[in-house]
């Protein structure tokens, strides 16, 4: 599934090598809704993520984005995070080195609540 988007409701396994595919999985953990993202996110592959984050922001007081598997993120991905940040308590957990670089270059790391682990992001 090159360049496609797969959406799952169950947690993903943490195996590397998702390639160019964008994968979104969602699940509840305590009071938070966790959205796990893997792969490359741009204009063509961010639709499922936008849908998942929008629904989560409307339904849950805290949304955690597990971003450990993000291999590429452009301005569309960053805009989604910033938009949801304004709608709910959004926490970005375990961002990949590529995403950390994007967040630092844009200053979004000073706006968004970035946590080292998903477990840390889920708790108060």
For 35, the enclosing helix (H) or strand (E) is strand 32-41
Q: What is the pLDDT of residue 20?
A: 55
Q: What is the pLDDT of residue 106?
A: 96
Q: What is the pLDDT of residue 36?
A: 97
Does residue 71 have a pLDDT over 90? yes
Give me the chain's average pLDDT, please.
86
Per-residue pLDDT band for 21 (boundaries 50, 70, 90) equals: confident
Per-residue pLDDT band for 124 (boundaries 50, 70, 90) equals: confident
Q: What is the pLDDT of residue 86?
A: 95
Does residue 4 have a pLDDT over 80? no
The predicted model gives 78-96 an average pLDDT of: 97
What pTM value is reported for the model?
A: 0.83
Task: Go through the domains of the chain in sequence order and give each one's CATH number.
Answer: 41-124 (3.30.750.24)
- Closest Cα partner for 64 from 40, 95, 94, 32? 32
Does residue 69 have a pLDDT over 60? yes
Dihedral sign from CA coordinates of 30, 10, 54, 39: positive
């Amino acid at each position: 599934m090159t360049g496609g988007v797969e959406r799952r409701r169950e947690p993903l396994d943490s195996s590397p090598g998702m390639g160019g595919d964008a994968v979104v999985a969602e699940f509840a953990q305590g009071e938070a809704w966790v959205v796990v993202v893997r792969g490359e996110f741009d204009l063509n592959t961010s639709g499922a993520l936008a849908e998942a984050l929008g629904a989560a922001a409307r339904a849950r007081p805290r949304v955690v984005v597990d971003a450990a598997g993000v291999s590429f993120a452009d301005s569309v991905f960053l805009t989604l995070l910033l938009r949801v940040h304004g709608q709910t308590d959004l926490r970005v957990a375990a961002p990949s080195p590529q995403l950390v670089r994007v967040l630092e270059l844009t200053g979004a790391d000073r706006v968004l609540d970035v946590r080292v682990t998903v477990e840390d992001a889920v708790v108060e």
